[in-house]
Structure 1
């Protein structure tokens, strides 16, 4: 996979804030779900957004595809500003950007056949019945499913097979960017590697760009070229995936990596797991300084009052921490 000169997707200082109305038991205020995130995704490359639940991963992805409206910042696709597209302009973008959600059962209409589910975007785009039939056969073959599955209902397929159908539907209009929102977390462990290998094969063959959302760093390492670790809607650390695993610099990244089980039981027993103490701050009232300060095991005097900026570290990653080298 090779990166192009101009990134396919460019996100600049993206912010998504939600205003809460004051009510009984609700103080009101603003939830800063995403608070100033920037990154690029090139054709044929995968950028992963990583972090605990509520860190802003999915909200970032939804803002890219238009399911959430950004409060500020810009989203550019192939050099075109798509930040605030609406109506037919937003609909036309579906040819280039598609999303694969976590639960394939929820993504498929249980009363529609596999063929009808895959054909839906093709019909909306004006494809003829005969062309749709040919394309469905091509897509099922592409994701490793027999064409005989076309007439089956989703309930007749396994979870992994249903996710392959969802991927086939996402590929129907030949998009250039796929947003993958926890695409294997609802699958059995034995099936996950098969679907991940399929995604790698599709990326190689079709030069697809992936924006991959996951809380599972072991999955991220298998698929991503670059990772961004998010916390309270901001980036704690980012960089090439190998450097993030071999020489992480931010204490939050180190804590996440220490939680990944090792296949070698001897090494696993010797390994020191970093236990984060303290409370996760409310997104309604984030700390004025470092967002991670309440749980950080190495915080110093400046951390509660000053917010660190992302800066290049000796390992080659960028980290938002005053104590990184």
Structure 2
């Protein structure tokens, strides 16, 4: 089998609190692969560690431990020169295109900036700028405009064009449509899917909007308090989620059929979200889980095979208890 383009192994990103003691475990032992030409989505509530995971992969946040491999090469602790060389293979599209673009720079200059940093000659850079503008559906006449002369959707096309300028193989898409009007989101999603089909791009897609994820992702990873609660191919996870947290997230997606929407059972989570400074020793979701049992507070589940892929739930999957065999032998 072909080796995945991106491999993340036991990634941890911890932030010590100066003067207060304690550590914020933003990402705590996350592992996954992103195959070439495929889309893997990280989903979950705000603060669950999705973006921090992506930033650690790109080197924008230092990893505390773990390993990130790109095309078989360990890139976890590259120096600045190594990261600059890697920029041609990995790029990011941020959430808010208005904040991602310099309002004083023309569209051509913004798209051409990574080419200038990499030392491209002006004539070749200009040709590449117009080529990627055409690729994302921007007229050549926009080249001399500034971002404030464009709509939100057009600005996001500029950001995507800039990310494509160096012909990367992996794009990290950090909530790429959440700042756009609903009417524009489908256009940008369709553009991303067309670009992937045409260029063979791999996407790491970060979102809290599960309806968007269902449209674009091949595989879904559900994060909770810095860990992966459930993972699997998108259709099986949406059809029959295993983890109670995934069930609750999916129950909040509006259905287009009003009758089905009225009949569905909405799962409203109660209890308190644990502080990232004091994550419980057992299941991180135990304080809010409607199925929680006493052992859930004490035993940290691990990802184990489930009907939808893998899930970390002691109630639904007894095999997720890492010490079950040892305790059985002792009895």
TM bucket, shorter chain: over 0.9
Choose from 185, 199, 203 the match for 1:210.
203
Choose from 254, 258, 279 the match for 2:251.
258
CA distance in 1, matches of 2:229, 2:64: 21
Q: Which residue of 1 aligns with 2:10?
A: 13
Question: C-alpha displacement at 1:28, in angstroms?
Answer: 2.5
Q: Where in structure 2 are the equivalents of 1:49-198 lying within 5 Å?
A: 49-198=42-191
Q: Is 1:200 the counterpart of 2:197 in the alignment?
A: no
Q: Matched residue of 1:102: which SS?
A: coil
RMSD of aligned alpha carbons: 0.8
Choose from 306, 317, 320 the match for 2:309.
317
Q: Which residue of 2 aligns with 1:228?
A: 221
Q: Where in structure 2 are the equivalents of 1:236-251 lying within 5 Å?
A: 236-251=229-244
Question: C-alpha displacement at 1:301, in angstroms?
Answer: 1.5
CA distance in 1, matches of 2:228, 2:130: 42
Q: Matched residue of 2:87: which SS?
A: helix
CA distance in 2, matches of 1:301, 1:280: 18
> Contact conserved, 2:243 with 2:311, CA < 8 A, in 1?
yes
Which segments of structure 1 move beyond 3 Å, counting only runs of 4 or more?
none
Q: Matched residue of 2:41: which SS?
A: strand
CA distance in 2, matches of 1:165, 1:118: 7
Q: Which residue of 1 aligns with 2:269?
A: 276
Q: Matched residue of 2:24: which SS?
A: strand
> Contact conserved, 1:35 with 1:233, CA < 8 A, in 2?
yes
> Contact conserved, 1:45 with 1:209, CA < 8 A, in 2?
yes
Residues 244-273 of structure 1: per-residue CA shift (max 9 Å, x gap)? 100100000000000000011111011110
Name structure 2 gaps, 5 residues minimum.
318-331
TM-score w.r.t. length of structure 2: 0.95
CA distance in 1, matches of 2:294, 2:176: 41
CA distance in 1, matches of 2:146, 2:302: 51
Q: Is 1:44 the counterpart of 2:37 in the alignment?
A: yes
> Contact conserved, 1:248 with 1:317, CA < 8 A, in 2?
no
Aligned residues: 317
Q: Matched residue of 2:143: which SS?
A: helix
> Contact conserved, 1:33 with 1:233, CA < 8 A, in 2?
yes
TM-score w.r.t. length of structure 1: 0.96
CA distance in 1, matches of 2:117, 2:7: 28
CA distance in 1, matches of 2:310, 2:233: 10
Q: Matched residue of 1:303: which SS?
A: helix
* Worse-superposed segment, 122-131 or 34-43: 122-131
Name structure 1 gaps, 5 residues minimum.
none
CA distance in 2, matches of 1:228, 1:316: 11
Residues 212-271 of structure 1: per-residue CA shift (max 9 Å, x gap)? 100000000111000000000000000000011001000000000000000111110111
> Contact conserved, 1:228 with 1:238, CA < 8 A, in 2?
yes
Q: Kindly tell me: are residues 222 and 237 of structure 1, through their superposed partners in 2, closer, same or farther at Cα, counting changes over 3 Å? A: same
Residues 181-201 of structure 1: per-residue CA shift (max 9 Å, x gap)? 000000000000000000000
Q: Is 1:33 the counterpart of 2:26 in the alignment?
A: yes
Q: Matched residue of 1:298: which SS?
A: coil
